Amino acid sequence: MQVVRQILLRLSTLVLSLLVASLAIFLALNALPGDATSAILGTNADPVAVARLRALLGLDRPLWVRYLSWLRGLLTGDLGTSLVSGDTVTSLILPRLGVTVSLVALGTVLSLVIAVPLGMYAAVHRRRARGFAAATLSQLGMAVPAFVAGIVLVLVFAVRLRWLPAGGYVDIQRDPAQWLRHLVLPSLSLALVNGSLLARYVRSAFVEVLAEDWFRTARSVGWRVWPALWRHGLRNAATPLVTVVGLQLATVFVGAVVIEQVFAIPGLGTLLLDQVTKRDLVVVQAIVMLLVAVVLVIDALVELAYLALDPRVRGPRELR
């Protein structure tokens, strides 16, 4: 029952957070000067024509009426219609969402591929020069912005070596091999920065594992360091890593907005900046709300994952 109560409490918190976020996003975007009419008619348009278009688009309605209408649409899956193009917001977002998710997923996998071995190596050799060098390397990686790493990777692997394309995107259904080639550099740009941060947490987690009594016992009965760490240490270090990976996953989604611009990838970030330029607040609201929802849902899933990974979180009754 303790686990059920914790799950229900976390889900209630998630719903309340989403509701507050929707209100904050709506008020913040509608407080900005100007609207879609200036993008459609121009800044020097006739005031009568502007007033007529505002009425046609529903922008003359009270703010609370528009918010309730938007909230009702969110709950029913109707994200509205673009004020500029007339297309449904869902039809604009869904194709771009798959592109961004592909970039984030590949970037997260590469982050773990970089972070786990590097962090473990730095932990095992923490009292030696090579361990210090590994820790320093992760520190340097954290100091480099993802877009700077992307530019350097393009210069090296696309311009000089000509191994990979400098930008663009190919749909996975059209050509899986080209899809992967076009995503290698942008996902690696995200992975180098986020993997460096993860490596520091991996190092800290495994330093604690190396000091545990059970690890010393495993070593005393004949286990070598690396097999013991991979076989037993990884699970014991998983709980703090789940938190960091979850939080970093939300950060990667935000970082993907910039990386998509660097590599000309038609994802949510490109769509968001394009619609901001056009003052199409209906589309902008939907994208920002989607990104916030992703962050909040990931945070909720991380807390729920604690229940599976750490019995101490479940309460005293579940420990017996």
Amino acid 266 reads P
Strands (E), 53-95: none
94-277: CATH class: mainly alpha
| Amino acid 318: pLDDT | 47
For residue 248, the SS3 value is: helix
Of the listed ranges 8-17, 80-89, 147-156, 159-168, the one predicted with least confidence: 80-89
Model confidence over 113-155: pLDDT tens digits? 888 888 888 888 888 888 888 888 888 877 788 888 888 899 9
pLDDT tens for 180-190 read: 999 999 999 98
Q: Choose between 242 and 269: higher pLDDT.
A: 269
Angle at 248 between CA 257 and CA 270, to 5 degrees: 5
Torsion from C-alpha of 29, 34, 38, 39, nearest 10 degrees: -30
Instruction: State pLDDT tens for residues 25-55.
Output: 888 877 766 666 665 666 666 677 667 766 7
Q: pLDDT band at 320, cuts 50/70/90?
A: very low
* pLDDT number for residue 16: 92
The answer, yes or no, to whether residue 319 has pLDDT greater than 50, is no
Considering Cα of 308, then 310, then 315, then 317, what sign does the dihedral take? Answer: positive
- Kindly report, as residue ranges, where domains of CATH 1.10.3720.10 are found in the chain: 94-277
- Residue 198 CB burial class (10 angstroms; 0-12, 13-18, ≥19): buried
Predicted local distance difference test score (pLDDT) of residue 186: 92
> Rounded to 5 degrees, what are φ and ψ at 178?
-70, -35
Residue 207 has pLDDT above 60, yes or no: yes
